[in-house]
Amino acid sequence: MNKLLKYVIADILRTKVMIAYTVLLFLISFVVFALENSPGKGVLTMMSVVLFMVPLVSISFSAIYLYNSAEFVELMLSQPINRNKVWAGIFIGLGLSLIIAFAVGYGIPMLLFSAADGWVLFLTGIFLSACFSGLGLLSAVRVRDKARGIGAVLMIWIFFSIIFDGLVLFLSFQFADYPLEKPLMVLSALNPVDLSRILVLLDMNISALLGYTGAIFQSNLGTWSGMVFISIILLFWCVLPFFWSIKFFRKKDL
Amino acid sequence: MIEINALHKYFGKFQALSDVNLFLEKGHCYALIGPNGSGKTTLIKSILSLVIPSSGKIQIDGKVWGNNPEYRKMIGYMPQNPRFPDSMTIGQIFSMMKDVRGEYVADEELIRSYHIDQMSHKKLGTLSGGTKQKVNAALAFLFTPQILILDEPTAGLDPVSAEILKEKIQQERRRGKLILITSHILSDLDDLISDLVFMQEGKIMVQCSLDWIKQETQQHVLTKAIASWMKNQNVDR
């Protein structure tokens, strides 16, 4: 067991930002589930909130946390601990804390209103927390300057949340005369936010909201295998930043 | 104990260390001095592998350790600007460090003389710079390391606390530890050190014993000795 892990988690969960994030998520979920007359509709509204908020909070919080704990990292590395272990402790600790905050903030209202449709969104939120905290750490370990690092992190978030959709739309109009299904499937696999959206909508079987890429997934893979496929890619998105960032951390000068 | 051969470090194009060769022995107390930006902290961090050297070899206790972190069990390090996780209390940081270290022989003398155990419930974020420095010092000495690396140890400490720390450093040196200190306050070092390492622009300009430089310059106070030696060097150039 990684000794650092529990200290990182204990440290993060006590920060005010983390508590505020949990409380805010809880309040929004609670109000949404209370106001919508069916839990299914509540889940749909929550989907927009989760897809917007979880990536933004996870990526920016992780990056800022790493910048602010530079001295703590230095303190740990001057002890007889391997660099890999220190990085694993921070990486997993941050990911787990964000997951815990999301699970409490969204999960409790979901259970209270017994929204059975909400479990896939629950899973999606966990994926997004892990994936974007990893991306945040990756950018923070690569960019030395704090202001530029946070700027980079916000760019990544804007790219995945807004620009990417536009890009897909642009490409599908430009190449409308060609068979686009396979390329578009590959393209949307490159965006964890889009994947998460498709995953939730596939599960809820709302074809009207699936959009172009979602419809391609459904018609090519079917609902069930489409969901498994997307989950596997999302899992990759959670693990990949770790192996990428540890390469930089091993060689980083503190 | 510490042997450094042909150490180079580049930060991009900037050369922070150039061809550093150094041999540091047990039972000596070295003062690493030099102007700001001369590479002192980079050198210290290279020894701790906080900075990864561009080329060169560092041997500690006769071995090149590479990625093996075990050698850091021998080292107590006091960084320049201590910053600890703000939400932790003093008690928690000590128990965490003990937990992380695993087995060790505890030396709690500084904890006692700085009365740190009486403030163990205080949050690290609320501490003054001086108190943080006390915690920093107590942590460096806590695990009775063979090598002590102290970066500006007395910075921010009040005279009484600084005196306690200097007393402790002398006592550890008498026990045969290797001590490496950087400081700008030369008068602080006077009765502490046995050897001098002078750095400038990433190079070691001179490594000598304190007696030698005092004899060479006919000065008995360290500050004056170094000033006069530097003047001579510049004339030679």
Least confident window among A129-143, B96-110, B171-185, B219-233? B219-233
Tell me the mean pLDDT in the region B17-21: 90
Q: In the prediction, which pLDDT does B219 show? A: 79
- What is the C-alpha separation between B58 and B55, in angstroms, rounded? 10
Q: In the prediction, which pLDDT does A63 show? A: 95
**How many Å lie between the alpha carbon of A82 and the closest alpha carbon of chain B?**
5
> Could you tell me the residue range of the domain that residue B55 belongs to?
2-236
**How many Å lie between the alpha carbon of B158 and the closest alpha carbon of chain A?**
23
> So what's the ipTM on this one?
0.84
Q: In the prediction, which pLDDT does B234 show? A: 66
> Could you tell me the residue range of the domain that residue A40 belongs to?
3-251
The number of C-alpha atoms within 13 Å of B8 and in the hemisphere containing its C-beta is: 10
Nearest to A77 among B50, B71, B96 (CB): B50
**How many Å lie between the alpha carbon of A15 and the closest alpha carbon of chain B?**
7
Number of domains in chain B: 1
Residues above pLDDT 90, as percent of chain B: 16
Q: In the prediction, which pLDDT does A103 show? A: 95
Question: Residue B203: which CATH number?
Answer: 3.40.50.300
Mean pLDDT by groups of 10 residues along chain A of 254 residues = 81 90 95 88 90 95 92 87 91 95 94 85 94 95 93 95 89 86 85 91 80 80 85 93 93 85
Q: In the prediction, which pLDDT does A58 show? A: 96
Concatenate the DSSP letters of all residues of A85-133 into one string: HHHHHHHHHHHHHHHHHHHHHHHHHHHHTT-GGGHHHHHHHHHHHHHHH
Residues of B with CB under 8 A from a CB of A: 11, 45, 48-52, 67, 69-73, 75, 77, 79, 81-85, 87-88, 96-97, 99-102
Q: In the prediction, which pLDDT does B236 show? A: 53
Q: Which residues in chain B belong to E strands, given as ranges?
A: 2-11, 14-24, 29-33, 55-60, 63-64, 75-78, 147-151, 178-182, 195-200, 203-209
pLDDT in tens, B92-128: 888 888 888 877 888 888 888 899 888 888 888 888 8
- What is the C-alpha separation between A215 and A175, in angstroms, rounded? 17
pLDDT in tens, B46-101: 999 899 999 988 998 888 888 888 888 889 999 887 778 777 889 888 888 888 88
- For residue B81, CA distances in Å to B87, B116, B183 come to 18, 19, 13
* Chain A nearest-CA residue for B86: A11
Record: contact A82-B67, CB cut-off 8 A: yes
Record: contact A80-B49, CB cut-off 8 A: no
Number of domains in chain A: 1
Q: In the prediction, which pLDDT does A165 show? A: 86
Q: In the prediction, which pLDDT does A27 show? A: 96
* Chain A nearest-CA residue for B12: A253
Record: contact B100-A3, CB cut-off 8 A: yes
Q: A76 to chain B: which residues are within 8 Å by CB?
A: 100
Q: A74 to chain B: which residues are within 8 Å by CB?
A: 50, 79
Q: In the prediction, which pLDDT does B235 show? A: 58
Q: How many CB atoms lie within 10 A of CB A152?
A: 20
Q: Which of B216 and A239 is assigned the larger pLDDT?
A: A239
pLDDT exceeds 70 at position B237: no
Q: Which of B210 and A238 is assigned the larger pLDDT?
A: A238
Q: In the prediction, which pLDDT does B202 show? A: 87
Residues above pLDDT 70, as percent of chain B: 98
